[in-house]
């Protein structure tokens, strides 16, 4: 097939020379493939002896025999392609497969070890597609090879290829992001009664006027900017704008300053209700081991991944890496970690913990509201959907535990695969990697948490988790320093962690909260992490630093730890630190690490969790407002003027790195679902796309919405869990009106307990100035406790949550007066602390 691209490229080059303007980009550089169009000949292409060439319809075709084992058992290729170090290349080709198959396309070293400079594994269809990749060559090499590996199929098939192109050898292009208007806002919405802040990029050093306009263009508020100087995170001179005094709801507002008008935004009550759900719905389409039902996620249906159906080798009977073990495990299920098909216990651990904490917050935080339907296969059962989703992962984590209690660190492909590649089409061998102390303690922590949370819904599952948690704890103590290897990174991430004392602390904290047992209490109190300052400006916690997960739960989940008031106060101290960072930052985020790092967006969110938790503990509105302000950064108030959440904001990330949401590589695949968070700016730019485009970037600019940029633009389960927690927190603030505490004091005293039960007396005092006329008292048990027999109120129970409503005779509580009620409860395994949160007619009482 004749191509006109060469002529276009010459035209582009000429235009560039004439204007003296932009340097050539990789795909305008010289063509390096000697004959990629196969118009009259296949020369100088070669094939392995089991293939032959046929020129058919302007394409190069070959009939691939069945019965080969490895991809490299059948190859077509071309030699002697020159590569120049640090230069950027665009590699592309058109291919068809009949029947459709995954083919491998590599630009590589021609001899052992066949180092691949670009490796793609597109799923090639009968009608065919064009596949395009860019990479920066790490070497000077006169004789690289371009090969298509097409072996490994049990049955015969036909492969055709055309327009094979490798262009480049020109200097890397200078990439300039389109950052739009210089007024930066949250492009989704501000809450009517919440904070409203924006940032103006300008050369001006003194205050400038700003105007807020409604959708009709009328000015509804105005004021002056505050000059903030040069911001280190962006290198920009900026001003901040505070328009929080404007409280009227509406859509299509804009903010104008310095002759620039922002992208439009809303001021809207309940603006975060859909993000709260979408951020969690993300997990269903990350599931492994189950077909994704297109009726539940239109456009996202796909066959089950890794269930032992060819070409998958499956997760139901997985061997270890050679020499690591001699058994096999069924480790099917769980969530895929990110854009890859790996499953890693330490990252699954933090993710499922954070989602369970989001649920647990609904039992303990005054403003928290139920989470609602996620439209998953389990919707409609007796368990909240958020817990059904968490259980999908927790069941997988349990499967990673060996009989001796130790837990395998990870399971993934033997070798890295290319993009795109749907989960059910991954042909790689799956392998278990060695057990580690960190993975074992992740299971101890999450299983302990699951044991208390699932107790009211499924006592057997709760008991199974508690047993697994205790066994993991004992095993970790016996093997306290089995570390995952930092070099075990072929085919999957390493998730190596040289320090596990924080994992010990987190596991002990969860085991203590759930059981109340002395061993765990003593461990928590003796751990240096218990009193350490955890509130780093860069990031409070991540998959490798988990002490704050323990500290936050000790502070926010009821327990009787000695010195608990100091634990709660330490979270407030942390929030005070992050509040200071928000106030000092002209972009208003609680994150100030100097250079940004991989997954920075999740660090912004996890620091925000501390602000939210402090508000839950104290009701102090400045912490809540800082948490609400923090989300502005992720939704557009940033140097790039874009939202990092797919489907949210005028200009938003949509090409996150994923093997199955790979729309930009194969238009028959979808983009990531709405509510998917991108990893975010990363100064270390470890991938070839980022290296080609972003060299020398200031931290906030180290991001590109390109599917190839896994270091800045991947999606991941631990990042969406942070988004889920924070978006739920903000959604629960409704229109931003501060919820007043109740004028009541409740004394909740468990007078006695025996092996199967306990007895509790509750005094409700009206501390206000008006009579209470009719009341409903509510609290939640920690675990599986049940009301048995009660007096002086009408008791009912829904899972862990108890409601006690007045009798006719004690309906009225006059100011200063009290009512006493009580009950006998049925005991359940584990601790039975007094609740932190007791509400009277929906408002929190002091306890
Ligand atoms: O989130 C991980 C980040 O902290 C590491 O710096 C990075 C490199 O090791 O790996 C990230 O995790 C990736 C994992 O290794 C493989 N699956 C995708 C994860 C997100 O990019």
CB burial class (10 A; 0-12, 13-18, 19+) of residue 411?
buried
Distance, in Å, from the CA atom of 11 to the CA atom of 7, rounded to the nearest integer, reads 6
Q: Which atom of ligand 1 is nearest to the CA of 686?
A: 8
pTM: 0.84
Q: Are 332 and 307 in contact (CB under 8 A)?
A: yes
Distance, in Å, from the CA atom of 768 to the CA atom of 817, rounded to the nearest integer, reads 10
Of all protein residues, whose CA lies closest to atom 15 belonging to ligand 1? Answer: 493
Q: Which atom of ligand 1 is nearest to the CA of 337?
A: 17
For position 142, what pLDDT does the model report? 86
For position 14, what pLDDT does the model report? 28
Q: Are 361 and 371 in contact (CB under 8 A)?
A: no
Residues lining ligand 1, Cβ inside 6 A: 337-338, 340, 342, 493-495, 598-599, 710, 714, 716
Distance, in Å, from the CA atom of 706 to the CA atom of 655, rounded to the nearest integer, reads 6
Question: Do the domains at 183-267 and 744-844 have one common CATH topology?
Answer: yes
Across 116-130, 190-204, 439-453, 461-475, least confident range:
116-130
What the block records as the tokens of 788 is 């048995």
Does the pLDDT at position 12 exceed 70?
A: no
For position 26, what pLDDT does the model report? 56
Distance, in Å, from the CA atom of 44 to the CA atom of 107, rounded to the nearest integer, reads 16
In the reported structure, the alpha carbon of residue 317 is separated from the centroid of ligand 1 by a whole-number distance in angstroms of: 26
Across 109-113, 381-385, 826-830, least confident range:
109-113
pLDDT digits (tens, 9 = 90+) for 520-549: 999 999 999 999 999 999 999 999 999 999
Of all protein residues, whose CA lies closest to atom 7 belonging to ligand 1? Answer: 598
What number of other Cβ atoms are within 10 A of residue 828's Cβ?
A: 21
Q: Which atom of ligand 1 is nearest to the CA of 492?
A: 16
Does the pLDDT at position 586 exceed 50?
A: yes
Of all protein residues, whose CA lies closest to atom 18 belonging to ligand 1? Answer: 338
For 753, the 3-state DSSP assignment is strand
Distance, in Å, from the CA atom of 421 to the CA atom of 419, rounded to the nearest integer, reads 5
In the reported structure, the alpha carbon of residue 53 is separated from the centroid of ligand 1 by a whole-number distance in angstroms of: 41
For position 173, what pLDDT does the model report? 58
Of all protein residues, whose CA lies closest to atom 19 belonging to ligand 1? Answer: 338
Q: Which atom of ligand 1 is nearest to the CA of 718?
A: 1
Q: Are 771 and 813 in contact (CB under 8 A)?
A: yes
Does the pLDDT at position 21 exceed 60?
A: no
The string of DSSP codes covering 797-815 is EETTEEEEE--STT-EE-T
Spatial strand order of the sheet with 197-201 comes to 183-184, 197-201, 236-242, 226-231
Indicate the domain borders of the chain: 15-168, 183-267, 273-497+506-520+595-601+636-731, 744-844
For 170, the 3-state DSSP assignment is strand
Would you say the C-alpha torsion 82, 86, 88, 91 has a positive or negative sign? Answer: positive
In the reported structure, the alpha carbon of residue 337 is separated from the centroid of ligand 1 by a whole-number distance in angstroms of: 9
Does the pLDDT at position 16 exceed 80?
A: no
CB burial class (10 A; 0-12, 13-18, 19+) of residue 248?
exposed
What the block records as the tokens of 477 is 């103590």
Name the percent of the chain lying above pLDDT 90. Answer: 90
Count CA atoms within 13 Å of residue 636 on its CB side: 26
Distance, in Å, from the CA atom of 211 to the CA atom of 240, rounded to the nearest integer, reads 13
Q: Work out the average pLDDT over 583-600.
A: 98
Of all protein residues, whose CA lies closest to atom 3 belonging to ligand 1? Answer: 598
DSSP state of 675: T
Q: Work out the average pLDDT over 136-160.
A: 93
Whether the ω angle into residue 420 lies within 30 degrees of 0, i.e. cis, is yes
Q: Which CATH architecture has domain 183-267?
A: Sandwich (2.60)
CATH of 273-497+506-520+595-601+636-731, one of 3.40.718.10, 1.50.10.10, 3.40.50.12280, 1.10.3720.10: 1.50.10.10
Angle at 639 between CA 636 and CA 644, to 5 degrees: 40
Q: What are the catalytic residues?
A: 340, 657, 705, 714
Q: Please, where are the H alpha helices in 619-713?
A: 621-634, 688-694, 710-713
Name the pLDDT band for 22 (thresholds 50, 70, 90).
Answer: very low
Reference 739, options 656, 636, 616; nearest CA is 616
Q: Which CATH architecture has domain 15-168?
A: Sandwich (2.60)
Residues in Cβ contact with 728 at an 8 Å cutoff, skipping those fewer than 6 apart: 276, 279, 358, 361, 368, 371
Residues in Cβ contact with 626 at an 8 Å cutoff, skipping those fewer than 6 apart: 575, 578, 579, 582, 583, 590, 611
Q: Which atom of ligand 1 is nearest to the CA of 542?
A: 4
Of all protein residues, whose CA lies closest to atom 6 belonging to ligand 1? Answer: 598
Residue 587 host element (H or E): none
Does the pLDDT at position 269 exceed 90?
A: yes
Ligand 1 mutation pick, 484, 486, 495, max ligand atoms within 8 A of CB: 495
In the reported structure, the alpha carbon of residue 298 is separated from the centroid of ligand 1 by a whole-number distance in angstroms of: 29
Distance, in Å, from the CA atom of 487 to the CA atom of 466, rounded to the nearest integer, reads 33
For position 702, what pLDDT does the model report? 98
Distance, in Å, from the CA atom of 114 to the CA atom of 98, rounded to the nearest integer, reads 28
Q: Work out the average pLDDT over 348-357.
A: 98
Distance, in Å, from the CA atom of 600 to the CA atom of 526, rounded to the nearest integer, reads 32
Mean pLDDT taken over the chain: 94
CATH of 744-844, one of 3.40.50.2000, 2.40.50.140, 2.60.40.290, 3.20.20.70: 2.60.40.290
Distance, in Å, from the CA atom of 365 to the CA atom of 88, rounded to the nearest integer, reads 52
Ligand 1 mutation pick, 347, 348, 703, max ligand atoms within 8 A of CB: 347
């Amino acid at each position: 097939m004749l191509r006109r691209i060469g002529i276009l490229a010459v035209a582009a080059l000429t235009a560039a020379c004439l204007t003296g303007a932009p340097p050539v980009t990789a795909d305008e550089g010289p063509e390096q493939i000697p004959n990629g169009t196969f118009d009259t000949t296949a020369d100088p292409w070669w094939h392995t002896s089991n293939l032959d060439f046929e020129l058919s319809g302007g394409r190069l075709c070959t009939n691939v025999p069945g019965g080969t084992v490895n991809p490299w058992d059948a190859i077509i290729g071309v030699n002697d392609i020159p590569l120049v170090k640090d230069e950027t290349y665009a590699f592309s080709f058109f291919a068809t497969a009949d029947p459709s198959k995954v083919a491998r396309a590599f630009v590589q070293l021609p001899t052992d070890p066949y180092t691949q400079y670009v490796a793609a594994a597109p799923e090639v269809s009968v009608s065919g597609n064009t596949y395009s990749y860019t990479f920066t060559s790490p070497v000077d090499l006169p004789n690289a090879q371009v090969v298509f590996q097409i072996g490994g199929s049990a049955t015969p098939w036909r492969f055709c290829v055309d327009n094979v192109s490798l262009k480049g050898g020109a200097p890397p292009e200078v990439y300039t992001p389109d950052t739009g208007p210089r007024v930066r806002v949250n492009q989704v919405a501000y809450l009517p009664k919440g904070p409203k802040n924006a940032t103006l990029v300008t050369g001006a050093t003194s205050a400038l006027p700003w105007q807020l306009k409604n959708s009709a263009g009328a000015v509804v508020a105005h004021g002056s900017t505050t000059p903030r100087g040069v911001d280190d995170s962006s290198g920009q001179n900026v001003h901040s704008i505070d328009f929080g005094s404007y409280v009227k709801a509406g859509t299509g507002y804009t903010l104008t300053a310095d002759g620039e008008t922002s992208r439009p935004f809303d001021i809207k009550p309940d603006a975060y209700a859909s993000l709260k759900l979408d951020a969690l719905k993300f997990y269903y389409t990350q599931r492994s081991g189950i077909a994704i039902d297109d009726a539940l996620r239109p456009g996202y249906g796909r066959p089950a991944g890794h269930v032992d159906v060819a070409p998958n080798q499956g997760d139901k009977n997985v061997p270890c890496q050679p020499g690591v073990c001699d058994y096999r495990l069924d480790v099917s299920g769980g969530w895929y970690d990110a854009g890859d098909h790996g499953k890693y216990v330490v990252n699954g651990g933090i993710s499922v913990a954070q989602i369970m904490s989001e649920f647990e917050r609904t039992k303990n935080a005054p403003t928290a509201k139920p989470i609602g339907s996620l439209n998953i296969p389990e919707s409609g059962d007796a368990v909240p959907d958020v817990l059904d989703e968490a259980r999908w992962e927790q069941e997988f984590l349990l499967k990673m535990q060996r009989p001796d209690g130790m837990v395998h660190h990870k399971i993934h492909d033997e070798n890295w695969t290319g993009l795109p590649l749907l989960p059910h089409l991954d042909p790689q061998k799956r392998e278990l990697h060695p057990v580690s102390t960190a993975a074992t303690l992740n299971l101890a922590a999450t299983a302990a948490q699951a044991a208390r949370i699932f107790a009211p819904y499924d006592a057997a599952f709760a008991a199974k988790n508690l047993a697994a948690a205790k066994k993991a704890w004992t095993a970790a103590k016996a093997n306290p320093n089995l570390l995952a290897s930092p070099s075990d990174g072929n085919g999957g991430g390493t998730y190596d962690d040289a320090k596990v004392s924080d994992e010990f602390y987190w596991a002990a904290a969860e085991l203590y909260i759930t059981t109340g047992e002395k061993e765990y209490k003593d461990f928590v109190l003796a751990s240096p992490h218990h009193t350490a300052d955890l509130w780093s400006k860069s990031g409070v916690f991540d998959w490798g630093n988990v002490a704050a997960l323990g500290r936050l739960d000790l502070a926010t989940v009821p327990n009787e730890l000695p010195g608990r008031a100091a634990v709660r106060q330490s979270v407030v101290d942390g929030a005070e630190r992050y509040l200071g960072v928000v106030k000092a930052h002209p972009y208003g985020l609680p994150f100030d690490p100097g250079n940004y790092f991989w997954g920075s967006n999740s660090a912004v969110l996890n620091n925000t969790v501390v602000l939210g938790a402090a508000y839950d503990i104290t009701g102090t509105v400045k912490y809540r407002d800082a948490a609400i302000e923090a989300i502005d950064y992720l939704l557009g108030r940033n140097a790039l003027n874009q939202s990092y959440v797919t489907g949210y904001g005028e200009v938003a990330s949509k090409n996150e790195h994923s093997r199955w949401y790979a729309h930009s590589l194969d238009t028959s695949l979808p983009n990531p679902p709405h509510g998917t968070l991108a990893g975010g700016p990363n100064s270390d730019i470890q991938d070839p796309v980022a290296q080609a485009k972003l060299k020398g970037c200031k931290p906030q600019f180290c991001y590109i919405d390109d599917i190839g940029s896994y270091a800045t633009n991947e999606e991941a389960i631990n990042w969406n869990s942070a988004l889920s927690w924070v978006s739920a927190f903000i959604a629960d603030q409704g229109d931003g009106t501060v919820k007043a505490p109740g004028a009541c004091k409740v004394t909740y005293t468990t007078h006695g307990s025996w092996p199967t039960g306990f007895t509790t007396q509750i005094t409700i005092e009206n501390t206000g100035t008006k009579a209470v006329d009719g009341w409903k008292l509510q609290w939640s048990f920690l675990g599986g406790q049940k009301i048995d027999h009660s007096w002086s109120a009408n008791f009912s129970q829904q899972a862990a949550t108890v409601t006690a409503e007045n009798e006719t005779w004690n309906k009225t509580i006059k100011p200063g007066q009290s009512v006493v009620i009580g009950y006998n409860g049925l005991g359940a395994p584990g601790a039975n602390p007094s609740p932190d949160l007791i509400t009277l007619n929906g408002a929190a009482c002091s306890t």
